[in-house]
Amino acid sequence: MLDRMREHDVVATDGTRIRAWDTGVGPDVLLCTGLGALPGAWPAAGARVRGWHYRGTFGSARPDDPDRIAVDDHVADAVAVLDDAGVGRCVVAGWAMGVTVAAALALRHPERVSGLLLVAGAPGDAFAGAFGVPGVPESVRRALGVLSVSALRLAAPVLDGVLHRVPLAGSLGAVLRHDWAWYFTLSLALGRTPRFDLRPLTCPTTVLAGRYDPLAAASDVVGAAGSLPQARVRVVPNTHLLPVENPGLVVAELDALVRRAAAVREALLLTPRSPGAA
């Protein structure tokens, strides 16, 4: 698991104070974690992994405008983190709902993304993959997902009253001390993002799906990348916590993707350009 994190604050384009972090050494990798997941849940890799905590969580401030929590706001925060670190282009990884952010970053700023690792999540329309029981229509799954999270947001005061009193320290204690109403507000805003069409992507892409994932059906995770000829797709016997359950696989696939991205960059540098090329 990632450890010895260095944290500092970055100011987003709308003035929101974002808590950025980085750890490790090696090639730069930007990690878009799942909502509510701490970076420590991600396996240690031979890379300098960096990222940020979503607005209003784990030290990042809430925006003055509470509506500034759409996917474009998270993408802007990701770009601010890269700019602050002086990273022009790198491999980007997304886990769970972080897949939506990672995919949006690659589509909106392809010049910043050299490779894309999507783990246990679909690129938008996240609730459509919930309750992935065979035979349940996508529209029903989507409605159940939205209704479930909406109900949990209403129950947030009860969750706060119970979970905030659990005497746990460390990462798990920090997760339990969420402001749960805000967490479910973030989840609804990001989960309702429409499904992205990934066909414009040209960077090397790897997709990992959990066969037993109850929150992101493997068919949804894999289907979104089915149109990408450059995508490597694996369905493995894991759940939504794939990076925790199978860290060796995630590290191996990330390392391979970093090498693929570097090889593509080197090939492009060595390819002669036509006289009329800009």
Structure tokens belonging to residue 157: 């005061």
* CA atoms 182, 63, 67, 241: torsion sign: negative
CA 121 to chain centre: 8
Domain segments of the chain: what residues? 6-270
Q: Check if the beta carbon of residue 264 is closer than 8 Å to that of residue 239.
A: no
Tens digit of each residue's pLDDT, the chain (278 residues): 676 789 999 999 999 999 999 998 999 999 999 998 888 889 988 899 999 999 999 999 999 999 999 999 999 999 999 999 999 999 999 999 999 999 999 999 999 999 999 999 999 999 998 876 667 788 888 898 899 999 989 988 888 888 888 887 667 777 778 888 999 999 999 999 999 999 999 999 999 999 999 999 999 899 888 778 889 999 999 999 999 999 999 999 999 999 999 999 888 887 776 555 44
Q: Check if the beta carbon of residue 232 is closer than 8 Å to that of residue 205.
A: yes
6-270 topology per CATH: Rossmann fold (3.40.50)
- pTM of the full structure: 0.92
Q: Are strands 113-119 and 48-52 parallel, antiparallel or unpaired?
A: unpaired
Q: CA triplet 58, 190, 53: central angle to 5 degrees?
A: 20
